[in-house]
């Protein structure tokens, strides 16, 4: 029996094109596009772009200054569960806030990092209250769910949105237990 190389190579190439092309189409039309449309339908979302990275879906959003960051995450995870398919959602807020808000945030960064490291999330709220006392006209909103801590700083028509991922404590087995 003599094998022909030409038909075997053509069949393998056609199979690879169909397989990878089908995966790309499913990824684009079955996951990314529905999540983009869903995110854009949430009040306050001006733009949305989805990227699939292994077991993680990265959703890059552009938000209006009056957007509710935690609500955006909640709506996308609840209404987009079928598109997410068990993957974790990472919400990335695009856009550059004002230098004033960046400076204000940098003053609280140490306290926020320490609170996150120690899992003392109420300290974040206290740090934001301290900022509001220090800067008249500044409003700070903090919210939390089982995945993230959401911080929104607003001053006039400008806003800074920060998503801080929570790392839940992992219970393990001690070697001497």
pLDDT in tens, 26-66: 877 877 888 889 889 999 999 999 888 888 888 999 999 88
Q: Residue written as tokens 């733009």?
A: 47
pLDDT at 111: 93
Per-residue pLDDT tens for 79-89?
888 878 888 88
- The tens place of each residue's pLDDT in the chain, 177 residues long, gives 787 888 888 888 888 888 888 888 887 787 788 888 988 999 999 999 988 888 888 899 999 988 999 999 999 888 888 878 888 888 899 888 889 999 999 999 999 999 999 989 999 999 999 999 999 999 999 999 988 999 999 998 899 999 999 875 455 555 544
pTM of the predicted model, to two decimals?
0.78
pLDDT at 177: 46
Q: Tokens for 129?
A: 């209250």
Please tell me the distance from the alpha carbon of residue 139 to that of residue 95, in angstroms, as a whole number: 19
Please tell me the distance from the alpha carbon of residue 58 to that of residue 76, in angstroms, as a whole number: 12
pLDDT at 27: 77
**Residue 137, Ramachandran bin (φ over 0: left; ψ between -120 and 50: alpha; else beta):** left
104 and 175 Cβ atoms separated by less than 8 Å: no
pLDDT at 175: 52
Q: Which regions of 88-166 does DSSP assign to beta strands (E)?
A: 88-94, 138-144, 148-155, 158-165
């Amino acid at each position: 029996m003599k094998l022909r190389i030409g038909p075997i190579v053509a069949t393998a190439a056609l199979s690879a094109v169909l397989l990878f092309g089908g995966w790309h189409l499913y990824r684009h039309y079955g996951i990314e596009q529905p999540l983009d449309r869903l995110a854009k339908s949430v009040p306050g979302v001006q733009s949305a772009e989805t990227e699939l990275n292994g077991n993680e879906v990265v959703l890059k959003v552009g938000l209006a200054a009056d957007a509710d960051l935690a609500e955006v995450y909640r709506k996308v995870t609840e209404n987009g569960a079928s598109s997410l398919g068990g993957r974790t959602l990472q919400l990335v807020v695009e856009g550059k806030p004002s230098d004033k808000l960046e400076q204000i945030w940098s003053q609280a960064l140490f306290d926020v990092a320490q609170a996150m490291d120690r899992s003392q999330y109420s300290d974040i709220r206290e740090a934001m209250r301290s900022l509001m006392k220090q800067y008249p006209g500044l409003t700070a909103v903090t919210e939390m769910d089982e995945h993230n801590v959401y911080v929104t700083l607003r001053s006039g028509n400008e806003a800074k949105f920060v998503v801080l991922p929570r790392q839940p404590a992992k219970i393990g087995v001690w070697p001497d237990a």
